[in-house]
Amino acid sequence: MNDEITIANRARWEAAVLKKNGFTVPWLDLDRDDILQYAEGQLDPIPYHLYQIYPAYLLRDVARKDVLCLAAGGGQQSAVFGLLDARVTVIDFTQGQLDGDITAAKYYGYHVETRRLNMRDLSAIEDASFDFIYQGPSMSWVPSVHEIYRGVSRIIRPGGQYRVDFGNPANHFWEWDGEFYRVTEPYFERVYRYPDGAYDFRHYLSDIFNGLVDKGFRIERVEERSWIQPDINATPGSWTHEMAYNVSFAIVAKKEEV
């Protein structure tokens, strides 16, 4: 799949790799004992990296399981699962992102399989290949959640868990106006174009939740969290300050047994 959306969004992430955007830099300071404590809810304070992987209980039982980090290149989430002895595969459409996963695997000494694929087309992956699929905040780069759910439903094993997160669609398009964060587009506006040409899509709650049910998933848990640990004392309008107000939510869904 190499349509206009893919070309524009891939170019944005290739540029992000060159600029060392925070989502593209491998996590090379992880501690396995910290991860295990975090999984049991016993780690306080929570390190910056681990805060982004939630709900924490998902990390308790991944050893020797086939785990897919979907559209999650960069050597970050894959490193957490690799340190927990999972059999990790990473799919991303940007080679620079996948290079980060290779770097992390070499650094920590585990094996990782990387596949340069578009998450909108998983036809190259065999049916029922994974026990657990972890997807971070990547859905905003695709026009339809349904095409992603369709592929995930096919490649996950019956009884397997799928974790995906979304920004709150109610405040998906907003900006700092000097005094407040202002929602700039009405709720039913679906797409925003960045100056570099990249596409950013808002997905409605009905599609997000009903789409999972329609593809044979049972929703197990929903958890809300700010993108990063909030700091309301940060400079207003900065990324750190905005993230104190911008809440996302993660969904954990289980593929129903047939």
Element holding 252 (H helix, E strand): strand 247-255
Distance, CA of 199 to CA of 33 (rounded, Å): 39
Q: Report yes or no: 126 and 149 within 8 Å, Cβ to Cβ.
A: no
Closest CA to 121 of 150, 158, 82, 97: 150
Strand pairing category for 181-183 and 191-193: unpaired
Q: Which of 60-64, 207-211, 237-241 has the lowest mean pLDDT?
A: 237-241
Neighbours of 1 (CB within 10 A): 12
The domains of the chain, with CATH numbers, are 4-255 (3.40.50.150)
Strand pairing category for 130-135 and 66-70: parallel
- Which tops the pLDDT comparison, 107 or 187? 107
The average confidence (pLDDT) of the chain is 95
Band of the pLDDT at 1, cuts 50, 70, 90? low
What's the pLDDT score for residue 199?
97
Mark out the alpha helices in 19-144 (DSSP H runs).
32-39, 48-51, 77-83, 95-108
Q: Report yes or no: 199 and 190 within 8 Å, Cβ to Cβ.
A: no
What's the pLDDT score for residue 28?
98
The mean pLDDT of 74-92, rounded to a whole number, is: 98
Tens-place pLDDT, residues 226-235: 877 778 788 9
Phi, psi of 159 (to 5 degrees): 85, -5
Share of the chain above pLDDT 70, in %: 100
Q: Is the pLDDT of residue 188 over 80?
A: yes
Specify the 3-state DSSP secondary structure of 97: helix
Q: Report yes or no: 113 and 129 within 8 Å, Cβ to Cβ.
A: no
What's the pLDDT score for residue 206?
97
What's the pLDDT score for residue 226?
84
